[in-house]
Structure 1
Amino acid sequence: MTIVLVFLGLAGAFGAWWLWRQGLASKPWLEQGVIGDAAGMDAPSPLAAKVGLGFFLVVAGSLFTLSISAYSMRLQGADWWPLPVPALLWLNTGLLIASSFALEWAKAFARRADIRQVRAGLFAGGIFAAAFLAGQLLAWRELYADGYFLASNPANSFFYLMTGLHGLHVLGGLVALGRTITHAQRTLDARKVRLGVELCAIYWHFLLLVWLVLFALLTGWAGDVFEICRQALT
């Protein structure tokens, strides 16, 4: 339980810091300007959109933190038999890294108002992310064919649970990314899609970070870290 609280505390602290960086503590009612200059009042506020995404990331991060904490405590059981990690996961990790870099590329060119490069980055990010999901399904199929079923072993259950949960978040991100791509195709002004591109890039970096942590767990690299934390907190 102590480990769970520590992880949740770290996730909450990171979320609070991120929201502060987005300007949550600012006082917009003190900003000076001409009322008539406030064009596009009906458009979503960039601050509101980023704060909303920040809250979602805190909630999603807490969900992953709970699953990781449960994993770290459950793997000490006598009935825990680690399953072999499919080699395909290495390729999938590379695909997700490439997707994150592609969206960072799109974000950089959105700031330069280069709509062609923005479209290219968004398309590349979407293709790499879709390939990542396809690779995850192939990894599941490979394990299932080798007899590693969901209910056969607690290790199997956690593998399917955590990779499936992450995959659902990637799928949801693809829906949002698809809408951003559609908007980018309908305009020649990159400034009109800059906010959407930035939000997608932030979300993709979050997905990459979560996956790298999960990958370290599933490959056994994080076992020593958990043991050190457990001994330090007991």
Structure 2
Amino acid sequence: MNAETNSIEAKATRSVNPKIFTMWLFIVSIIMLFAAFTSAYLVRKAEGNWVEFQLPNLFWISTVVLLLSSASMHFALLAAKKDQFNALRISISITFVLGLLFLVLQYFGWVQLVEMNVYFVGNPSGSFVYVLSGLHGLHLISGLIVLIVALIAAFRMKINAKALTQIKICSTYWHFLDALWIYLFLFLVFNN
């Protein structure tokens, strides 16, 4: 009977939370989407007729803002692990505000692109910048929704040291969005 108990315990520890598994499937699908777009970018650039331009200065600033939001998200996870509920709520709120600020800066980065005569319609080099940054922005909006849900859960005391799944999902997804932007930004800087 002891061997049977160990077998049951071993099977239980190998299972994955369905919500976490779903999040990872979503992340993998996003990676595949952006891999396809960045591959298409390189293929189209190699064909010629490619206008080169500098990325807007606001894209640099928005990158720093997103890195700061990732730091505040990390503090939210640490606060949850220590049952520091006020710090948890404040950190999630700061992350949310920085996420919104990132989107605003991205929009005004697009305004800078227009001022540089880089449009969505026209040369594919500009089109790709709008598509890549716009798709990332849409995914960041989904991250903001996840943050709102986590913030509501934090106010209802549903996130604590014994119930970390929701904040772990939120944190992992937010850090992924941050890493995705860093990848896209560096890709555009070095391939534009």
TM-score normalised by length of structure 2: 0.88
Give structure 1 stretches of 5+ with no counterpart: 1-28, 33-44, 224-234
Which of 135, 140, 143 in structure 2 is aligned with 1:165?
A: 135
Give structure 2 stretches of 5+ with no counterpart: 1-6
Matches within 5 A, 1:101-112: 101-112=71-82
TM-score normalised by length of structure 1: 0.73
Q: Which runs of 4+ in 1 moved over 2 A?
A: 186-194
Residue 110 of structure 2 aligns with an amino acid whose one-letter code is: W
**Aligned 8 A contact 2:93 2:151 in 1:** yes
Distance change >3 Å, CA 211–CA 189, structure 1 → 2:
closer
Q: CA RMSD in A?
A: 2.1
**Aligned 8 A contact 2:159 2:167 in 1:** no
Distance change >3 Å, CA 199–CA 187, structure 1 → 2:
same
2:4 counterpart residue number: none
Of structures 1 and 2, the one scoring higher in RCO (CA 8 A, sep 6+) is 2
Cα offset, 1:193, TM superposition: 5.8
Cα offset, 1:100, TM superposition: 0.9
**Cα deviations by residue, 1:85-139 (Å, 9 ceiling, x for unpaired):** 1111111000100111111111111111111111111011111111000000010
**Aligned 8 A contact 1:46 1:195 in 2:** no
2:64 counterpart residue number: 94
Sequence identity of aligned pairs in percent? 29
Matched, 1:145 2:115: yes
Matched, 1:30 2:8: yes
**Aligned 8 A contact 1:118 1:190 in 2:** no
Where is the helix percentage greater, Structure 1 or Structure 2?
2
CA distance in 1, matches of 2:173, 2:36: 19
Give the number of equivalent residue pairs.
183
1:17 counterpart residue number: none
Matched, 1:209 2:179: yes
Matched, 1:69 2:26: no
Matched, 1:122 2:92: yes
- 1:104 partner SS: helix
